[in-house]
Every structure is written in structure tokens, then in C-alpha cells.
Amino acid sequence: MNKLTKLGYRIYQKILYVAQAFLPINEPEIISGNTALNQLVKRIHQDQFHHVLIVSQAPLLALPDVVNFIGLLKAEMIGVTIFGDTTSNPTILQIETVKDLYLQNQCDAIIAIGGGSAIDLAKGVGARLARPNKTLQQMKGILKVGKKIPMLYAVPTTSGTGSEATLACVVTDSLTHEKYAINDPVLIPKIAILDPRLTLGLPIDLTATTGMDALTHAVEAYLGQSNTKKTKQFAIEAIQLIFQYLVKVYQEPTNLDYRNHMQLAAYKAGVAFTKAYVGNVHAIAHTLGGMYHVPHGLANAVILPHVLEFYNHAIDSKLAALADLTTISKPDQSKHEKALAFIETIKTMNRQMNIPTSFDGIVKDEDIEIMIKRAMAEANPLYPVPVIMDKKAFKRIYSLIQD
């Protein structure tokens, strides 16, 4: 990749950074605590909605707290239509199916209960309802929705994606196996319900990988070149919380205090990357999700250390600052040594939570070229990464995670 091309990317990123100041990117209102889900019933009643569509998965719908929540809605004479077949990577076909369900039952609001997949599915439905004459493919990229979507309440049951705070909707084309994002401020949920009780049943491996997903969001946002004072602070706070509580919640999964801190960390990371963007880790992770259905959090967890090591000295100062802020550095260390200590801490966390270092046997040689092409198309020119990666650089990372 020549210098002129890279300069063009940087100019594009700078223009987008300036333009963001004029966009209505609002944070969701938060309802949090051990009774947050029950409080949502009162809020929906106050908002005067009459028939809600719940987007979720069957195991979550069977949780006692969720069953009670649905019962309370019905007791308030609020109609409920349920879609409980959300898959780990929501597809265009699935979004179209749920959109039709919303219209057929004359719903007037959407409640997403689940991880990033359920919330993304709900956002995709909202986008199609707002733009009935546009396909999801036509809304791929930035600011392609542009119209208000139906009321969206986001109830995360994982502490990782931050989808309850972001403008991104990630969808998968099941025909081409391409995974891409639709980015528009209108997709930010109006209200986020942070109820740690809903994360108690999360399998321990998903507790680990969704937590590393949140860490990736925060680290990539912090390292990017489109930070504001607020996004930088939110990213730092998220990283500090994750370093302090993720391994603890992995070891003590029923601790509500730890769960509560991780929910807050995921939310803060989501707010940070909504304005500061993510980076090359996500560009690669999305190709693994689209091609092989690798869970997004797992992909990020494996890829993150490799990309940070690839950036090398370009991120020494920023990682050194994070090492200081998370108290893992030593006073006599150089910036580079502190940066390496930060990366090593991430590797240690992965080991402590039994997360692999690669995808041995999953990534196929014959797929790498198309994945490189898709990763480059996602990352460039959009992501304001510390180092713009070319084809050779992406191929290097794929080879590292393949072994």
C-alpha cells in the first residue's frame, strides 16, 4: 500500500472525526441494578406502548426473571409477541422474518433480550422498518438509515458486546458468508437495562469471551486516532474494570457485584467505540464470524494480542499509559517494556480463562484471500487505527491465528 493511499485514508478519517461533532450521537438512558428488568415494565407503561416485540433466544426466555417480566407486561395489558430463535450471527433472512412478525402483530416497540446477536437483530429489524424500500445491503456502511426506528429497549444478558450503547448493527449474509456493519446514530437503543441477574446463567466460557470482547472494544477505541476526552476516559474506565473483575467473575460466576461491574465495563466500552471506532482486530474477527461462525468475543480474544504486537512501537506510549493506569507496570520500565507488560497481561487473562491462542484447524488456506479482502474493505478507510494494515500485514495475522 503506497503512502498516497494511506494519506487518503487519514484524510477521510479526519473528515469523519470532524463531522461526528455535528451528529446526534446520544447515550442511552440507563436503568441498572438487581431489579432493573422489573422497572422496565413501569417505563414501557409510562411510554404508552401497547404491543411489544421481544427478540431473544429460547433459553433466555425460560429464565425465571424473564418469565416474570413477560407476566408483568401482560398484567399491565401490554401485548407481547415473542421471537425466540435468534442465532449467534443474525442473518438478513432472519431480520426480514422478524420484521414481518412485527408488522403482522401491529407492534409499536422492540425489546431485545440477549447478547449482541439479539440486540443486532432488533436493530436490523428497526432499520428495515424505518427504511422499508431499502435492503440491508444498501444500508451497509455509515449513515445509510437516516430515519427514526421504532422504540428499542436493549436488555443485555452478556457483558461484552456493548451493543446496548452503540450505533452499529452487525449482520451476516448467509449466501456470501460476509459479515458487515450498518452504522447510524438512529440505531442506538433509547434505554439500556443493566440487570446483573440476567448474566448469572451465562456459560463460563461465554463469560470469558464476551468480557474479552468488551476489552477489545475499549482498547481499540483508546488506541484509535478519533478519540475525544470523553471516549478516552470511558475506554480507560472500562479497561480498569475489566482488568480488575473479569477473571474474578470467571472464578466466581455467581457474584452479582462482579457481574454488575462487568456490565458497566461493557457499557462504557460500547459508548467509547461508538464515537472512537474499533480497528483491525474487529475487521479480522468479523471475517471469522462470517466464514466459520466463530463467536465474535472468542475471535477478538484470540486476535487482540497478535494485532497489538504487530503495532509494536507505534502504540508504546498509549499502552504504557494503560499499563500505569491498571497498575501492572514497574517504575523502572521503559515505555516499550510497559507496553509489552500490558499485552502479556491480556495473554495471561486468556490463559487463566482457557481461551486458545489460535484457531488451529478452522482457518482454511483457500479462504484467506477472500477474508483478507473483506477485512481490508471493512478497516480501510473507516477505522482510525494506529497503523494502517495492508494485504501483507493482514496475511501475517491470519497466519498467526491459523497455527
pLDDT tens digits, one per residue of 147-172:
999 999 999 999 999 999 999 999 98
The answer on pLDDT for 201 being more than 90 is: no
The domain locations on the chain are 3-17+203-402, 33-199
Residue range 243-273, pLDDT digits in tens = 999 999 999 999 999 999 999 999 999 999 9
Q: Is the dihedral of CA 99, 102, 107, 111 positive or negative?
A: negative
- pLDDT for 384 equals 97
The answer on pLDDT for 177 being more than 90 is: no
Please name the residue ranges forming H helices in 224-255: 229-251
Q: Is the dihedral of CA 224, 225, 229, 230 positive or negative?
A: negative
CATH architecture of 3-17+203-402: Up-down Bundle (1.20)
Name the pairing type of β-strands 141-142 and 178-183. parallel
Residue range 108-137, pLDDT digits in tens = 999 999 999 999 999 999 999 999 999 999
The answer on pLDDT for 361 being more than 90 is: no
The pair phi, psi for residue 52, each rounded to 5°, is -105, 150
Residue range 268-290, pLDDT digits in tens = 999 999 999 999 999 999 999 98
Residue 319 CB neighbour total at 10 angstroms: 25
- pLDDT for 95 equals 97
- What's the CATH number of domain 33-199, 3.30.70.380, 3.60.70.12, 1.10.530.10, 3.40.50.1970? 3.40.50.1970
- Would you put residue 177 in left (φ > 0), alpha (ψ -120 to 50) or beta? left
